[in-house]
Amino acid sequence: MDVIQNGINGQLVNSKTDKHVPVFNPATGEQSASLPISTVAEVNEAVESAKAAFPAWSNLPPLKRASFMFKFKQLLDENADNIARAISKEHGKTHADALGEVQRGIEVVDYACGMPGLLKGEFSRNVGPQIDTFSDRQALGVVAGVTPFNFPAMVPMWMFPIAVACGNTFILKPSERDPSAPLLIWELFQKAGFPAGVFNIVHGDKSAVDALLDHDDVQAMSFVGSTPIAEYIYTTGTAKGKRVQALGGAKNHMVILPDADMDQVADALMGAGYGSAGERCMAISVAVPVGKETADKLIAKLKPRVESLKIGPATDADAEMGPVITKMAQEKINGYIDSGVEQGAKLVVDGRGFKLQGYENGYYVGGTLFDNVTTEMTIYKEEIFGPVLQVVRADDYQQAVDMINDHEYGNGTAIFTRDGDAARDFANRIQVGMVGINVPIPVPVAYHSFGGWKRSLFGDHSIYGPEGIHFYTRLKTVTTRWPTGIKAGAAFAFPT
């Protein structure tokens, strides 16, 4: 059985820990690897490696740093299929879905290749008598990232390519559940020729995260995961003087107005609600049809599609949805379905007890559809992170808007309509960070930035894109005057 290794100072190394946890193939329920819970000393070793690499790396011309990044992108393109297969084996998502994840990560690497132009500052001549001012963005130093299981390749690539292209050195603590894809990416990074220590990877649990938060040489921390942990990392990290961006949970709504194309809506909800078994922070988990007629039409369209959802392992090319990540996740999702029934929601399609012939021990949950869900129910309030779509009926447009704005999460939302005035009003008034107009999963492209509002994001900066550059750099402004023979004498008033 494979034992997952750490990547420190450019080398694959075995952890000296005596504590390991299993990595499973969720399609079969079988253990596929063993992952070390790295020691604090090993985390510190990674930090020391990154610290040692920082001075030379940060002083390298940005164009030279970009040349490494171009080579890295080429290797990612050539190995995208292998990375996707590693994702599917440990996460369970379909191969097509995994390939899409890898591609969206590569797009951020592509953006990072343009860093020489993106780091350019501003210059003003003669801001005062023969005085010039210029600004510069400089790297922070050693920075770290903690990433979730649901996008083991893409989310790390939302972080480290921007960070290292800006001149920082990076330490990644990936999820314990699917570590092989990020480790494969780390190996390609080394193959691209980056200096040792620029990018390190250390596996572990909360003790590794705390070690990074406690270390004085770690200047910043990026995180994507659940809201309770995001809040913990933000409060702990900022209390220790670190810069923190911590992306948390979500409860994403799609509003459907009466004039929407219902076939388009049903297609969008199937992909956005059940793709990746609903294990996406941008999944649509709440459909909000406006008016009884709209809601009835929506249920009629969705019910047969959910019932005929093709569920299977990633090795099945026809599968539309795979298993969930762990046995614990499977039980938790089933518990939410139980709760919805107990609290009075109408269970239109029940995904509990789904079994796939030949994969009876896999962690499968069938597509589930609820109708007549209310905002007081647990399944509405909490993030389920599974293939459970809820229909919450709204009497009118204003009620739908208020429902979304009143929710504690503000990650993503969408509206489906032909009415441009309503769409514009929705985009303007809704208190959510990412909005789709007839787009179900409005994840911004690499040259924009990703981030929610309210309890979906802790910190002042969203991730990747221009916001990512601002997060991983500090602004420095320099004002200069050179001797010219002018003797103005001492000035005691504030300079103007």
Active-site residue numbers?
281
Pairing of strands 30-36, 20-25: antiparallel
Where do the H-state alpha helices sit in 275-419? 292-307, 327-342, 378-381, 397-406
**Closest to 181 in 3D by CA, of 296, 338, 278, 314:** 314
Helix residue ranges per DSSP H, 61-173? 62-78, 80-91, 95-112, 115-118, 154-165
Residue 151: name the closest of 200, 206, 218, 224 by CA: 224
Q: Work out whether the CA dihedral 91, 25, 4, 84 comes out positive or negative.
A: negative
CB contact set of 492 (below 8 Å; sequence gap of 6+):
none
Query: Under a CB-based contact definition with an 8 Å cutoff, are residues 392 and 402 in contact?
Result: no
Give the three-class secondary structure for 310: coil
Q: What whole-number distance in Å separates Cα of residue 413 and Cα of residue 439?
A: 9
User: How many CA within 13 A on the CB side of residue 401?
Assistant: 13
Dihedral angle over CA of 284, 331, 315, 205, nearest 10? 90
Rounded Cα distance, 125 and 451, in Å: 36
Q: Which of 144, 205, 189, 168 is nearest to 11 (CA)?
A: 189
Nearest CA-CA partner of 294 in 253, 265, 251, 269: 265
Are 164 and 57 in contact, with CB atoms under 8 Å apart? yes
In sequence order, what are the residues at sequence separation of 6 or more whose Cβ sits closer than 8 angstroms to the Cβ of residue 176?
21, 23, 35, 37, 203, 204, 205
How far does the chain reach from its first CA to its final CA, in angstroms?
Answer: 70
| Pairing, β 243-247 against β 218-224 | parallel
Whether the CB-CB separation of 194 and 72 falls below 8 Å is answered with yes
